[in-house]
Structure 1
Amino acid sequence: MTPDKIGFSFLIIGAFLLAGKFIRTRTKWLQNLFLPSSIIGGFLALSFGPDVLGRLTSQFLNENSIFYNGLLPEFILEVWRPLSGLFINVIFAALLLAKPVPSLKKIWNNSGPQIVMGHTVAWGQYVVGLLLTLFVLTPFFGMDPLTGALIEIAFVGGHGTAAGLSDTFALLGYAEGADLALGLATMGIFGGVISGIAIINIGFRKGYAKPQGERPTFSEEEKEQITESYGYDIEQEVKQPKAIEPLAFHLSLIAIAILFGYIFQQALIILEAYTWGAWTDVYLFTYLPLFPLAMIGGIVVQMIFGKLNLRNYIDPNLVSMISGFALDILLVSALATLSLDVIGDNIIPFLLISLAGIAWNLFAFLYLGPRMIPDHWFERGLGDFGQATGMAATGLLLMKIADPDNKTPALEGFGYKQIMFEPFVGGGLVTSASLPLIYQFGPVTFLIITTVVTLSFLVFGLVKFKPKK
């Protein structure tokens, strides 16, 4: 692969991003679904690839033709396939890099119920997925036991996590799992937005929440913030370093965070190799991807800057822009290389997993929400429901519709919740470790573990956070 071909492949990603943006601004229903331009561009690239247009061109062109498999030559797809595994590290390294961690007491007082509710839903997705896999998908459809982790990986983790775990899926002998996870993440976004808006309308009529005037209309800037950001932005004064360009400086911070993550990863692999791995022949950290440890590396960098009283040198807006750039590249490249054959060959299991995940999320929101969130359960629970079904931006969208003026503590609690949520599930350590855990110990053992954890959060939430009379 020559540098020219690699560079050209990145130029084509830019073209599809621009095309996705153009289509989004001209298509009202896509705007109403709040689909990011990168997802639209990714599916557009997929349609020009071998699984869609290539099916037609291969009927008329010679195999030696550059467009035999569609308008995307194979060398472009070769460059794009590994990008998701690389850029996911940038996204997670930046995730908490610019967010000063408040005290645990403040986090708990603001978002304790949402933290417990979020973990209950996320861990419960493993329980639902594993039960479905053990009793239906494996015996009747021959699905790999790793399928039991797909709901949590795709729904709470989203496209980024699903694509970022592609190397882990392949390493564990279940490469098609990454394609199924990407497809499920798309189903989650559609299901989360559509069912969430329907729930809001029903909730207003039932009196669960009071309408704050008419349904808000969003400016283009607000739509971009909702659909393409990871959450809330923190306003702060920034001292621009003069000895280095701000963009290069923040890229360097992210690089150092990833480097810290790599050091942690290698240390864990070496520790495992000379301790329990050698004693039991059970290896977990060998299969652990880099990105959750890169997130920890970002926290370390942020804490070092805090100790040196240099935290205001880290610009949250620049970090967010770098993360957003990496996410756009990841989404276009991952969706463009998605194998529709895998989804088509497993269409019934794919639909069953989708329905089971959405059903569990609806049950958790409508039944457990009022019993686990003592105040403003509807607005607070919408954020958890949106994140558990699609991504954090879906939760922001639903809360914005239900509470456009932020008259409830839902948005603030949702923001604080991420600090105690994302390092573990939704792409964190538990999400990335779930596949090797199932692989090494079997789905039944992991089902027992996740059931115990889910029940623990559930019982604690029901006892601790009883609704106020």
Structure 2
Amino acid sequence: MDVTPEVVGFSLIILGILLLIGKWMRVFTPFFQNFFIPSSMIAGLIGLILGPEILGQFGIHFFDEGGAFPQVMIDIWSELPGLLINVIFASLFLGMTFPSIKKMWEIAGPQITFAHFISWGMYVVGISLALLVLTPVFGMNPAAGALLEISFVGGHGTAAGLSGTFEAVGFEEGRDLAIGLATIGVLTGVFLGMGLLNWAARKGKTEIIKDPSDVSEDEKKGLIAKEDQQEEPAGNQTTHSEFIETLTVHLGYIGVAVTLGYLMLEGLIIIEEMFWIDEIEILTHLPLFPLAMIGAVIVQLFLTNFVKHDVIDRGMINRIQGLALDMLITAAIATLSLTVIGNHLLPFLIMAAGAILWNIVAFIFIAPRIMPDYWFERGIGDLGQAMGMSAAGLLLIKLADPENESPAKAGFSYKQLLLDIFVGGGLVTAASVPIIIAFGPVPSLITAAVIMTGWLLLGLFYFGKK
């Protein structure tokens, strides 16, 4: 079967149906509800089970070698994450009001410090594992040292978005390993977060707490009661629909942000080729999505300073971003290669264990010493994000501080502005694989260790003393 517009369209429709099935499975399955498993992950697992990696392995083929799906559909799904990640990152800062750096630092400084400490520590742990075990024992590419930060802090979107970079540096299996690690991270993060909430409630480790068992049935199912459905509008109209639909305008601005990112990336590649392409190749392998994020900042600053009308509504941007993320996670998991993970099962488990252990140690022993107040409420959000999803971090903050009595939620939001630009999917994350290849794992490890130590000292001796 050839790739045609009809096949592409039908592939998106099937993806939507999988998401709907995942949603209703969550509504009727207490296990998924109690541990807040996202519907997109359930949908992706359904696609994986019905695809060539599981159903196809039993010799059940409805279409060629794709299990219940045509192979061409699997191929289309495998390309979607690399496209959708640009939409997600271009949506990060559109429609936002940028506070002053001083205000962000006053409110979110401890969380910014702790989040950077965790992220740079992921490189220290990952590259150390690569140098000591993964490369000498299992013969893995040294770039495997970047997988922990890419997968756990960056999440599914970053992992899938870097597939082209992995291929360019000869580390093709990195894509499947990264997506697999991101899946482990999210699942473990939810279990871990709920366990820590119960632990904190029993031990008196928190100033504010909400028993996870008190969450309403509607919240667990991911539904909003009819009387509350207007509490968070999907988005406000900023244009008259008879002239141009508001959704169209927002998609257009996302497109402008992505285009600016593309132009910046091409310019950087030209500069690299002119000056030092013979020695190193970093920008050549840099993906588009971190530049799309910077493009969005440029677009928003221009609109804020030079356009008198509020033409971008943050609620509308959130809906577009949410749709792209749901589709990305579903497509990424559905096209996961279990064969690749099986071939690297032991190093995969070692990396997963290293990342999880690092997060636990950092949260329990470092967060209380960095956060001047509400350490649990602040730190649990950073822990959730460091296990693969910003949404998980916000969920855990909501359970720990349902009435927003602490600065945790505001600090978490402000933190993104000074975190995502660099790590968790930002410029450093995107460039980490080509940097390790270009300069080697040892200089990369030393650099990461120095930066991690700098953030730790800042947290201990500046915020920790307050």
Shifted more, 457-466 versus 253-262: the winner is 457-466
Instruction: Output aligned runs, 1:246-325, within 5 Å.
Output: 246-277=246-277, 280-310=278-308, 312-325=310-323
Which of 2, 7, 17 is the aligned partner of 2:4?
2
Counterpart Cα distance in 2 of 1:294 and 1:52: 36
SS in 2 for 1:97: coil
- Residues 219 and 263 of structure 1, relative CA distance in 2, 3 Å threshold: farther
The residue aligned with 1:24 is 26
* Aligned-partner residue type, residue 63 of structure 2: I
Quick one: structure 1 residues 176 and 214, their matched pair in 2 at CA, closer, same or farther if it must change by over 3 Å?
Answer: closer
Q: Which amino acid in the other structure matches residue 268 of structure 2?
A: L
Cα deviation 1:431-453 (Å, max 9, x = unaligned):
00101101111111111110111
The equivalent of 1:230 in structure 2 is: none
| Deviation of the 1:212 alpha carbon | 4.2
Does the C-alpha gap of structure 1 residues 99 and 225 become closer, same or farther in structure 2, counting only changes over 3 Å?
A: farther
Equivalent residue in structure 1 for 2:382, among 381, 384, 405: 384
- Structure 1's 224 and 153: CA in aligned 2 closer, same or farther, altered over 3 A? farther
The answer as to whether partners of 1:51 and 1:340 remain within 8 angstroms in 2 is yes
What CA distance in whole angstroms lies between the structure 1 residues aligned with 2:381 and 2:63?
47
In structure 2, what is the equivalent of residue 99 of structure 1? 96
Structure 1 CA distance for aligned equivalents of residues 271 and 108 of structure 2:
36
Provide the rounded CA distance (Å) in 1 between the counterparts of 2:83 and 2:410.
Answer: 32
1:355 maps to 2:353: yes
Deviation at 1:387, TM superposition (A): 0.8
Whole-Å separation in 1 of the counterparts to 2:272 and 2:64: 48
Q: Cα 1:235–1:83, aligned 2, differ >3 Å: closer, same or farther?
A: closer
CA contact (8 A) 1:240 1:246 kept: yes
Q: Is the 8 A contact 2:210 2:400 kept in 1?
A: no
Return the TM-score normalized by structure 1: 0.93
CA distance in 1, matches of 2:119, 2:402: 26
1:279-313: CA deviation from partner (whole Å, max 9, x where unpaired): x4312110000000000111111111101244622
Is 2:193 the partner of 1:191? Answer: no
Match of 2:106 among 104, 109, 112: 109
On the 8 A contact 2:190/2:392 being kept in 1, the answer is: yes
SS of match in other structure, 1:307: helix
Mapping for residues 373-452 of structure 1, pairs under 5 Å: 373-452=371-450
Is 1:81 aligned to 2:78, yes or no? yes
Q: Closer, same or farther in 2 for the Cα pair 1:211/1:272, shift >3 Å?
A: closer
Displacement after TM superposition at 1:189 (Å): 1.1
Per-residue Cα deviation, 1:11-70 (whole angstroms, up to 9, x for no partner): 111111111111111111112222221111111011111110001125xx7xxx725441
Instruction: State the alpha-carbon separation in 1 of the partners of residues 429 and 355 from structure 2.
Output: 16
Task: Tell me, in whole angstroms, the C-alpha distance in 2 between the residues paired with 1:430 and 1:130.
Answer: 15
- Seen in structure 2, the aligned counterparts of structure 1 residues 214 and 78 have a Cα distance that, compared at 3 Å, is closer
- Opposite residue 139 of structure 2, the aligned amino acid is G
Partner SS for 1:313: coil
Kept in 2: contact 1:99–1:234 (CA 8 A) = no
- Equivalent AA in structure 1 for residue 9 of structure 2: G
Q: 1:311 to 1:439 in 2, by over 3 A?
A: farther
1:209-220 alignment runs, 5 A limit: 209-210=206-207, 212=209, 214-215=211-212, 216-218=214-216, 220=218
- Structure 1 residue 220 displacement after superposition: 3.9
Which 5+ residue runs of structure 1 have no aligned equivalent?
A: 227-232
8 A contact 1:192–1:389 mirrored in 2: yes
Q: 1:214 to 1:77 in 2, by over 3 A?
A: closer
Map Cα deviations across residues 365-389 of structure 1 (whole Å, 9 max, x no partner): 1111111111111111111111111
By how many angstroms is 1:390 displaced?
2.4
Give the secondary structure class of the aligned counterpart of 1:249. Answer: helix
Question: Which amino acid in 2 is paired with 1:66?
Answer: F
Structure 1 ranges of 4+ moved more than 3 A: 210-216, 218-226, 233-239
Aligned pair in 2 of structure 1 residues 45, 91: CA closer, same or farther (>3 Å)? same
SS of 2:283's equivalent?
coil
Distance in 1 (alpha carbons) for counterparts of 2:257 and 2:89? 9
Q: Assess if the C-alpha contact under 8 Å between 2:207 and 2:374 holds in 1.
A: no
Structure 1 pair 237–336 and aligned structure 2 pair: CA distance change class (3 A): closer
* Alignment match, 1:229: none
What CA distance in whole angstroms lies between the structure 1 residues aligned with 2:233 and 2:27? Answer: 28
CA distance in 2 between counterparts of 1:75 and 1:309 reads 45
Q: Which residue in 2 is equivalent to 1:340?
A: 338
Distance 1:2 1:186 in 2: 31
Please state how far the C-alpha of 1:223 moved relative to its aligned partner.
6.7
Whether 2:158 is the aligned partner of 1:161: answer yes
Using the size of structure 2 for normalisation, the TM-score is: 0.93
Name the CA distance, whole Å, in 2 between partners of 1:430 and 1:165.
Answer: 12
Q: Deviations over 1:79-137 (max 9, x none)?
A: 11211111110010011112121100110010111101110000000000000111011
The residue identity in structure 1 corresponding to 2:409 is: L
**8 A Cα contact 2:368 2:376, kept in partner:** yes
Moved more, 193-202 or 299-308: 193-202
Moved more, 154-163 or 323-332: 323-332
1:166-223 deviations in Å (ceiling 9; x for gaps): 1111111111111011111111112111112111211222221145464441464687
Q: Which moved more, 1:329-338 or 1:110-119?
A: 329-338
Rounded Cα–Cα distance in structure 2 between residues aligned with 1:79 and 1:47: 17
Q: What are the equivalent positions in structure 2 for 1:125-140 lying under 5 Å apart?
A: 125-140=122-137
Q: 1:235 to 1:148 in 2, by over 3 A?
A: same
Separation of aligned partners in 2, 1:127 and 1:184: 17
Matches of 2:465 and 2:216, distance apart in 1: 33
SS in 1 for 2:69: coil
Provide the aligned length of Structure 1 versus Structure 2.
Answer: 455
- Once residues 298 and 221 of structure 1 are traced to their aligned partners in structure 2, the CA distance between those partners, rounded to angstroms, is 32
> What amino acid maps onto 2:108 in structure 1?
S
How far the C-alpha of 1:225 sits from its partner, in A, is 9.6
Tell me the amino acid that sits aligned with residue 78 of structure 1.
D
**SS of match in other structure, 1:19:** helix
- Contact 2:122–2:149 under 8 Å retained in 1: yes
Write the letter of the residue equivalent to 1:151: L
- Residues 269 and 403 of structure 1: is their aligned pair in 2 closer, same or farther, counting only changes over 3 Å? same
